């Protein structure tokens, strides 16, 4: 059983991911759903957004759009006071050097071992993996923000990923509109149910095996 909360699935996910942020975190957001996360940050939490195309300190567009200032997804962006521009080499030195505290990415599949597939669907044209493979290995915390099931209703939390892998054993937290999972050496642990969601619903819609935090069992 799932009770309607008034938020869209993407809003439920983004608002829960926002609770994982800490004041001063350097954060890289993937395209799509992850870009909604700053809208739900607590007033006392300020994060510094890093973009792999060569920016730190990205912010909302203020006033006229600058065609030369875009995020990694090519969307118009602004920059906060103190922000900086640099080349891709320096940008990836920040990522690969472990200077990004949190990265939030979408996912096509995540499995019990924390493997992530999020860049290619066989048979479809894709531009490439981009910076995802660097982010999932370089960031201190990797959060996957995705809807729990695919459009055909199949689970996106699997026993083993079937699509080409972005990174092996890299995921720390999975946030869906149904639940929050943490990836541990013992496998997935269901840490939290989203508002209005019961455990039976999560079990029904999850292919992967998982343990349940006793606090919600």
Per the DSSP assignment, residues forming a β-bridge with 59 are 78
What is the CA angle 183-212-217, rounded to 5?
A: 155
Active site residues: 52
For residue 105, which of 53, 46, 173 has the smallest C-alpha distance?
173
DSSP state, 194?
P
Rounded to 10 degrees, what is the CA torsion of 22, 143, 171, 103? -70
Cβ of 138: how many Cβ atoms within 10 Å? 21
For residue 1, which of 200, 147, 179 has the smallest C-alpha distance?
200
Specify burial of residue 53 (Cβ count, 10 A radius: 0-12, 13-18, 19+). middle
Q: Are 210 and 51 in contact (CB under 8 A)?
A: no
Separation of alpha carbons 44 and 164, rounded Å: 39
Find the helix or strand (DSSP H, E) in which 10 lies. helix 9-18
């Amino acid at each position: 059983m799932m009770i309607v909360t008034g938020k869209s699935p993407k809003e439920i996910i983004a608002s829960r991911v926002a609770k994982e942020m800490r004041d001063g975190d350097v954060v890289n957001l993937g395209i799509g759903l992850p870009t909604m996360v700053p809208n739900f940050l607590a007033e006392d939490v300020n994060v510094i957004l890093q973009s792999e195309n060569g920016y730190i300190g990205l912010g909302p567009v203020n006033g006229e759009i600058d065609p030369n200032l875009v995020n990694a997804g090519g969307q118009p962006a602004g920059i906060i006071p103190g922000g900086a521009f640099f080349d891709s080499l320096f940008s990836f030195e920040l990522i690969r050097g472990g200077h990004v505290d949190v990265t939030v990415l979408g996912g096509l599949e995540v499995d019990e071992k924390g493997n992530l597939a999020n860049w290619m669907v066989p048979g479809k044209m894709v531009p490439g993996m981009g910076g995802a493979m660097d982010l999932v290995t370089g960031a201190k915390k990797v959060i996957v923000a995705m809807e729990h099931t695919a459009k055909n209703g199949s689970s996106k939390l699997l026993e083993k990923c079937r699509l080409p892998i972005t990174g092996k054993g890299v995921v720390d937290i999975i946030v869906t509109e149904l639940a929050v999972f943490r990836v541990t050496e013992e496998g997935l642990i269901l840490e939290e149910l989203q508002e209005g969601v019961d455990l039976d619903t999560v079990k029904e819609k999850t292919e992967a095996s998982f343990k349940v935090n006793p606090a919600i069992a």
